Amino acid sequence: MMRTLETLVEGLKFGEGPRWRDGWLWYSDFYAHHVRRVNLQGRVAEVVDVANQPSGLGFMPDGSCLIVSMLDRRLLRLKDGKLTEHADLSDRVDAPCNDMVVDAMGRAYVGNFGFERHKGQSPKTTSMWRVDPDGSIHEAAGDLMFPNGTVITPDGGTLIVGETFASRLTAFDVAEDGALSNRRVWAEMAGGVPDGICLDEEGAIWVADPRGCRVQRILEGGRVAEEIALEGRGAYACMLGGPEKRHLFVITNEDSGPGVAERTAGRVEVTEVDIPGAGLP
């Protein structure tokens, strides 16, 4: 069937990092410097402001929220309404941090651009970093081309990250201590640009592809099981949530560059799908 998206929230500058939790979709609006949340009725609530642009979101076992602060390359923690520094990655990362996933133990796997794409720098590979619950920082994986949206399977044993400018999804085994190994290609996207991603109960991954103006449900190996096309709008992130985890939320916009900061063309859009979400985030 051909699914269509309905607008849940409009007027964002640029949305990122959607996460479903306790009846709300949390998301960052990074050019507006806000973290907000919205329920299925479209009621928006403010969460916190982040001066240096919030991006990826995740939750610790105690319910506190971790927030990627892009421009100063820090990981912040929001607990009891107070925002504090959880880890400073600025001496390890040369370009803005972006998305992340937080595992069941509270370990955060944080990606970054690897180069200043909006300043004309040439693409280069970079590392994903793991921040443990005590705030210690460890290199999780190297030689990644713009590590972006990331998921962890329900058993905690596999992490899959979208390498945006390599047009692929890359998988790793996860050890008990959080270390990654056995790197392999999970799916090639044949010119697609994987941005935000989320996992469902059948092990398929929904992938937001801004260049292709679409969201695709991709199986391991690369077969596209379903596609939702957008008319002239890029899809930048997606998340499965709702009471049965069958609501697919998609963050859309006209573009991603700094120029969108002067506009409010961003949206949170939603449709219902057949297979519920699973794993993390």
Spatial distance between the Cα atoms of 13 and 45, rounded to a whole number of angstroms: 16
Q: Is residue 264 within 8 Å of 11, Cβ to Cβ? A: yes
What stretches in the chain show pLDDT beneath 50?
A: none
Bond before 243 cis per omega within 30 degrees:
no
Show the tokens assigned to 162.
């979208």
Predicted local confidence at residue 117, as pLDDT: 76
Predicted local confidence at residue 121, as pLDDT: 78
Show the tokens assigned to 18.
């959607």
- pLDDT digit string (tens) for 27-71? 999 999 999 999 999 999 999 999 999 999 999 999 999 999 999
Predicted local confidence at residue 257, as pLDDT: 83
**φ and ψ of 51, to 5 deg:** -60, -35
**φ and ψ of 190, to 5 deg:** 45, 60
- Strand boundaries in 50-134, DSSP class E: 54-59, 65-69, 74-79, 82-88, 97-102, 108-112, 126-131
Predicted local confidence at residue 218, as pLDDT: 98
Q: Is residue 145 within 8 Å of 271, Cβ to Cβ? A: no
Nearest partner of 108 among 165, 147, 163, 166, judged by Cα: 147
